[in-house]
Amino acid sequence: MSAIVTARALVRDAAARLAAAGVASPEHDAAELLAHVLATTRGQLPLVDAVAPADEAAYGALVARRSAREPLQHLTGTTSFRHVDLVVGPGVFCPRPETELLAGWAIEHAGPGVVVVDLCTGSGAIARSVLDEVPGAEVHAVELDPSAHGWAERNLEGTGVDLRLGDMADAFGDLDGGVDVVVCNPPYVPLEAYDGVAPEARDHDPALALWSGDDGLDAMRVLERVAARLLRPGGVVGAEHADVQGSSAVSVFAATGRWRDVRDHRDLAGRPRFVTARLAP
């Protein structure tokens, strides 16, 4: 008779294995993977008295893949962002918790009839969240990468978001001068930072979603020009950046003379995270 294997023991052993592999959140990921296999939640795992051999084997396979630094979201196929659940996988950037703050800023500036444009939408996380929390807003989104656009289609299906495939540089010409809020999580990793990027992002996120020239601000410069074209006078733009770009990202907007109220915002850990500005009258 085989020994009973408990969920607690499996998670404990898996967490140790993930920690040894350099995974940043081993306990969380170990529990999340077992909950996925058992079709339950992390909070319900303590109620699991025994794990069947087939589930144990499936769990072991997923832990091995996570130990190889395959993103957790690719293994579960879903991720949560603010109050919505998104489907994600290979070919799309997995939204990070810190981006929820930028989405929150966009939501604060949205309202019934307010026109919001989400550039570089990726999985559609920000666009979906804006419409989820402000149902009366008019939301438009664009994504350049065909694979990522396919994931956004799935996440935005039936929401009413106007999703387009294309380059943000020339997107939404039909909306020029009539947009209230532009929001964007652009690529912002400098090419020289390749070795310092976590394997989950470097080896699995799309290159188009990561790299942005020698200083990481090439896309930000394009965004500044596009936002100036799209926004009505007094409209606002918000864009995420790397934590080392708190000053340089602000300078992209401040240096042109087109913007007022240019300021940077910190994340919950106190790190510079996104820049906002208002188009001058």
| Arithmetic mean of pLDDT over the chain | 93
106 within 8 A of 131, measured Cβ to Cβ? no
Q: Summarize the confidence of residues 16-43 as an average pLDDT.
A: 95
Question: By percentage, how much of the chain surpasses pLDDT 90?
Answer: 82
What residues contact residue 249 under an 8 Å CB cut-off, 6+ apart? 188, 217, 220, 239, 241, 264, 272, 275
Model confidence at 3, in pLDDT bands (50, 70, 90)? low
Helix (H/G/I), strand (E/B), else coil: 45: helix
Q: Summarize the confidence of residues 6-22 as an average pLDDT.
A: 95
Has residue 17 got a pLDDT over 90?
Answer: yes
Model confidence at 195, in pLDDT bands (50, 70, 90)? low
Q: Summarize the confidence of residues 43-59 as an average pLDDT.
A: 92
The model's pLDDT over 119-178, given as tens digits with 9 standing for 90+, comes to: 999 999 999 999 999 999 999 999 999 999 999 999 999 999 999 999 999 999 999 999
Output the pLDDT for position 5: 83
Model confidence at 209, in pLDDT bands (50, 70, 90)? confident
Model confidence at 214, in pLDDT bands (50, 70, 90)? confident
Question: By percentage, how much of the chain surpasses pLDDT 70?
Answer: 96
All domains of the chain, ordered by start, with CATH?
7-68 (1.10.8), 78-279 (3.40.50.150)
Q: Summarize the confidence of residues 44-50 as an average pLDDT.
A: 89
Output the pLDDT for position 188: 81
Output the pLDDT for position 211: 67
Output the pLDDT for position 213: 74
Model confidence at 1, in pLDDT bands (50, 70, 90)? very low
Has residue 201 got a pLDDT over 70?
Answer: yes
Q: How far apart are CA 54 and CA 125, in angstroms?
A: 34
